[in-house]
């Protein structure tokens, strides 16, 4: 059954749930929703499937010329990826909070993982290094309104309308496949991991939810620290 699509709550209402109302404080308090690893039946029309990019999970706050990035554990890593920070700061409107992966999508999974891990260790970008990309797949706040309780399908529509540039940012698109062809599509495109998400799922910060399922082909090419 689809969840309610009641009007978005103003950001200030988050204070009543123990979260401070200032957007930057909300970002610092949020933790990414995590997928379960236990497979379950995927009923047609109830799930979407997205490629996992073997990158580093990041939440980002941006708008009005500013941007801030946080790791899965809440560390401010805005200075580590200046090309992504600048691309987000250039997006008009806001404030927004999104979820995604810092990745190198032009490379195979294991090589992409090494590139992102090297950038994490460097804590910045060296001269001559190819820029990484922020692969965005969820929208948690829009214009200061909380979208966490809205169904994923609704959040995806709102996310698709954001004016994200192609320079350093990428909107993650669902794979065009049903449950019966998922493994075939993974084989055809050489995908190491896919995340299945219920279309009616709300965003559950910090929780490992059965509404998201990680589907992997052994052996996994991504390290545990990159988990979507």
- Taking 60 as the threshold, does the pLDDT of residue 13 lie above it? no
102 in Cβ contact with 70 (< 8 Å): no
CA distances from 20 to 23, 29, 50, 63, 93 (A): 8, 8, 32, 18, 21
- Taking 70 as the threshold, does the pLDDT of residue 79 lie above it? yes
pLDDT of residue 220: 59
pLDDT of residue 222: 64
Query: Which CATH number is associated with domain 9-226?
Result: 3.30.470.30
Distance CA 51, CA 56 (A): 14
pLDDT of residue 112: 76
Residues facing residue 218 across a β-bridge: none
97 in Cβ contact with 30 (< 8 Å): yes
Q: How confident is the model at residue 224 (pLDDT cuts 50, 70, 90)?
A: very low
Averaged over 150-177, what is the pLDDT? Answer: 90
- Taking 50 as the threshold, does the pLDDT of residue 54 lie above it? yes
pLDDT of residue 9: 45
pLDDT of residue 24: 66
Averaged over 151-172, what is the pLDDT? Answer: 92
- Taking 70 as the threshold, does the pLDDT of residue 31 lie above it? yes
pLDDT of residue 228: 42
pLDDT of residue 8: 45
Tokens in use for 198? 């219920």
DSSP 8-state secondary structure symbol assigned to residue 180? G
Residues facing residue 194 across a β-bridge: 51, 215
pLDDT in tens, 164-219: 878 889 999 998 766 657 777 788 777 888 899 999 999 999 999 999 999 887 76
Averaged over 32-55, what is the pLDDT? Answer: 85
Averaged over 81-90, what is the pLDDT? Answer: 94
Averaged over 216-226, what is the pLDDT? Answer: 60
Using a pLDDT cut of 90, give the percent of the chain over it.
Answer: 42
- Taking 90 as the threshold, does the pLDDT of residue 115 lie above it? no
By CB atoms closer than 10 A (0-12, 13-18, 19+), residue 165 is exposed
Mean pLDDT of the chain: 81
- Taking 90 as the threshold, does the pLDDT of residue 163 lie above it? no
């Amino acid at each position: 059954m689809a969840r309610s699509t009641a009007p978005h709550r103003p950001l200030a209402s988050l204070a009543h749930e123990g979260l401070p109302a200032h957007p930057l404080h909300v970002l610092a308090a949020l933790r990414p929703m995590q997928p379960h690893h236990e497979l379950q039946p995927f009923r047609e029309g109830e799930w979407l499937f997205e490629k996992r990019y073997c990158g580093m999970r990041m939440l980002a706050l941006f708008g009005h010329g500013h941007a801030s990035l946080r790791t899965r554990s809440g560390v401010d890593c805005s200075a580590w990826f200046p090309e992504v920070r600048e691309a987000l700061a250039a997006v008009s409107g806001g404030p927004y909070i999104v979820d995604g992966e810092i990745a190198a999508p032009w490379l195979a999974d294991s090589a992409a993982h090494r590139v992102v891990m090297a950038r994490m260790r460097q804590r910045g970008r060296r001269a001559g290094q190819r820029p990484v990309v922020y692969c965005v797949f969820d929208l948690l706040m829009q214009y200061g309104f909380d979208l966490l309780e809205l169904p994923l399908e609704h959040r995806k529509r709102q996310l698709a309308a954001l004016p994200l540039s192609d320079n350093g940012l990428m909107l993650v698109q669902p794979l065009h496949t049903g449950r019966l062809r998922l493994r075939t599509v993974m084989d055809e495109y050489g995908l190491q991991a896919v995340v299945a998400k219920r279309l009616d799922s709300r965003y559950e910060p910090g929780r490992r939810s059965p509404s998201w399922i990680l589907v992997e082909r052994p052996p996994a090419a991504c390290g545990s620290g990159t988990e979507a």
